[in-house]
């Protein structure tokens, strides 16, 4: 190794699986330093990001509801299969999976550990528990959490929007009026001992599913209020820590609902539905921040995965309302072959081919058992948490 150019060594190592590289740090002190080298970490991450994505799957049903799995497409089987692998867990009694950024997971405690936020790399197995946020007003609760990377300062930041006078049931109801909700925004740079209060914010975000990170900004969908009859898209710039309204696609009108946001090919994308909520449309913002650059790229009709047909035989398959995309479908990501990965009711994955307009069910089990899950796109990498805490 000593005789090889450093650039060649980094190129070779960047092609290896993440678990193998983590094991190499035990070889010697020199190897430990090399595996933690920032140039290798970035090169390895960028190479993995070019492949079809992997996923972190958070189990939602008993008895494994606090277990994480890695989901990966297998290339050595005939049918499209997602192989799952149980991951080592941080010491949290119960938690929600919030999001993934640069190989790091943001986990939020539930029940007894509510208020605890943990940043965790499931492959290096290092993690940090963030300082608990002490809300200025005790009735502020049920917050929306955002997690992302600020490239200008090379800091990871967590944003929490807390609401006053709203219950969890209200929080998931589109009938709630944001004009009647008082919210407070706090931010924490990971590694800092204290949260900072950014003041009040007059909007009501949809639940966590609407959050995406694009162009160094976190994005959420806002519910309509007395001044806006339709949903809005709001961004939060992690660099200047300011909110800004994002231009909406022209498809969003009084009779068309914006359902969720997703990232496709690095672009901000919006999912909406036609008037009868049966056909899903995906609009892609080709040039960020320019209203005229919203382009409708995909239209997807209703479909019933085989897994759900078997599990829900008591429900009529002819019920268009039950199987409407708005109710059961979530867009996950775009695959390298042009297919669109869809999640149905947290129970099934399906790949939609926009060219042939066909659906293909994926086989997905956890230790031989079908389970309910929440999935986030994830790139397994060597992002060591302690390397950016004091930068």
pLDDT by position in tens, the chain (length 391):
667 788 898 999 999 989 899 998 888 888 889 999 989 999 999 998 888 878 899 887 666 567 899 988 654 444 567 778 888 888 777 888 999 999 999 998 876 556 789 999 999 999 999 998 875 555 556 678 999 999 999 999 999 988 876 544 444 444 444 445 678 899 999 999 999 999 988 888 866 566 899 999 999 988 766 666 667 899 999 999 999 999 988 776 555 678 889 999 999 999 987 666 678 889 999 999 999 999 999 999 888 888 777 655 444 444 544 445 555 788 999 988 889 999 998 888 999 999 999 999 988 877 766 678 888 999 988 998 888 776 5
Nearest to 120 by CA among 391, 386, 390: 386
Cβ atoms of 66 and 73 within 8 Å: the answer is no
Cα 141 to Cα 96, 181, 284: the distances in Å are 16, 12, 33
| Total residues belonging to the chain | 391
For 317-348, how does the pLDDT look when each residue is reduced to its tens digit (9 = 90+)?
Answer: 445 444 455 557 889 999 888 899 999 988 88
At which residue do the structure tokens 């200025």 appear?
136
Cβ atoms of 354 and 340 within 8 Å: the answer is yes
What is the H or E stretch that residue 117 is in? Answer: strand 117-120
Cα 207 to Cα 174, 210, 260, 327, 342: the distances in Å are 10, 6, 10, 15, 19
Pseudo-torsion of CA 124, 13, 55, 84, nearest 10°? Answer: -80
Report which DSSP code applies to 216.
T
- pLDDT value at position 71? 87
Cis amide leading into 63 (omega within 30): yes
Give the whole-angstrom CA distance, residue 367 versus residue 85. 8
Helices (H), the chain: 6-13, 18-24, 29-35, 38-49, 168-171, 306-311, 325-328
Report which DSSP code applies to 362.
P
What is the DSSP track for 297-358? EEEE-----HHHHHHTTTS-TT-TTTT-HHHHEEEEEE-TTS-EEEEETTTEEEEEETTTTE
Report the relative pairing of strands 104-109 and 81-86 from DSSP bridges. Answer: unpaired
Three-class DSSP category at 46: helix
The tokens describing 104, both together, are 């790091």
Three-class DSSP category at 265: coil
Instruction: Give the neighbor-by-neighbor strand order of the sheet with 155-164.
Output: 140-150, 155-164, 182-189, 196-200
What is the H or E stretch that residue 281 is in? Answer: strand 280-285
- What's the pTM value of the predicted model, to 2 decimals? 0.86
Give the whole-angstrom CA distance, residue 146 versus residue 187. 9
Nearest to 52 by CA among 82, 73, 31, 77: 73
């Amino acid at each position: 190794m000593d005789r090889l150019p450093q650039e060649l060594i980094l190129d070779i190592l960047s092609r290896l699986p993440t678990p193998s590289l983590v094991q190499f740090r035990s070889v010697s002190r020199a190897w430990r330093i090399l595996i933690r080298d920032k140039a290798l970490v970035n090169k390895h991450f960028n190479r993995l990001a070019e492949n079809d994505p992997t996923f972190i799957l958070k189990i939602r049903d008993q008895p494994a509801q606090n277990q994480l799995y890695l989901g990966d497409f297998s290339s050595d089987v005939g049918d499209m299969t997602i192989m799952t692998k149980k991951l080592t867990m941080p010491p949290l009694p119960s938690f929600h999976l919030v999001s993934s950024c640069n190989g790091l997971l943001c986990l939020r405690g539930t029940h007894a550990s509510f208020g605890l936020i943990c940043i965790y790399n499931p492959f290096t197995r290092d993690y940090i528990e963030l300082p608990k946020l002490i809300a200025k007003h005790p009735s502020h609760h049920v917050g929306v959490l955002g997690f992302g990377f600020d490239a200008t300062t090379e800091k990871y930041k967590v944003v929490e929007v807390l609401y006053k006078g709203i219950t969890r049931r209200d929080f998931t109801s589109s009938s709630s009026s944001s004009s009647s909700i008082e919210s407070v925004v706090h931010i924490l740079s990971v590694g800092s001992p204290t949260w900072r209060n950014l003041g009040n914010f007059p909007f009501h975000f949809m639940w966590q599913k609407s959050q995406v990170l694009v162009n160094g900004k976190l994005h959420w969908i806002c519910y309509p209020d007395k001044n806006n009859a339709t949903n809005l898209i709001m961004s939060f710039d992690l660099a200047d820590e300011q909110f800004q309204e994002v231009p909406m696609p022209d498809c969003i009108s009084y009779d068309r609902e914006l359902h969720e946001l997703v990232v496709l090919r690095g672009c901000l994308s919006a999912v909406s539905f036609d008037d009868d909520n049966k056909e899903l449309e995906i609009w892609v913002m080709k040039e960020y921040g320019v209203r005229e650059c919203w382009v409708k790229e995909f239209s997807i009709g209703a479909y019933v995965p085989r897994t759900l047909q078997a599990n829900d035989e008591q429900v009529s398959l002819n019920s268009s309302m039950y199987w409407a995309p708005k109710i059961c479908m979530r867009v996950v990501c775009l695959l390298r072959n042009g297919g669109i990965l869809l999640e149905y009711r947290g129970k099934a994955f399906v790949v939609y081919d926009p060219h042939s307009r066909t659906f293909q069910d994926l086989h997905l089990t956890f230790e031989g058992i079908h389970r309910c899950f929440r999935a986030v796109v994830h790139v397994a990498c060597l992002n060591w948490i302690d390397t950016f805490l004091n930068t």
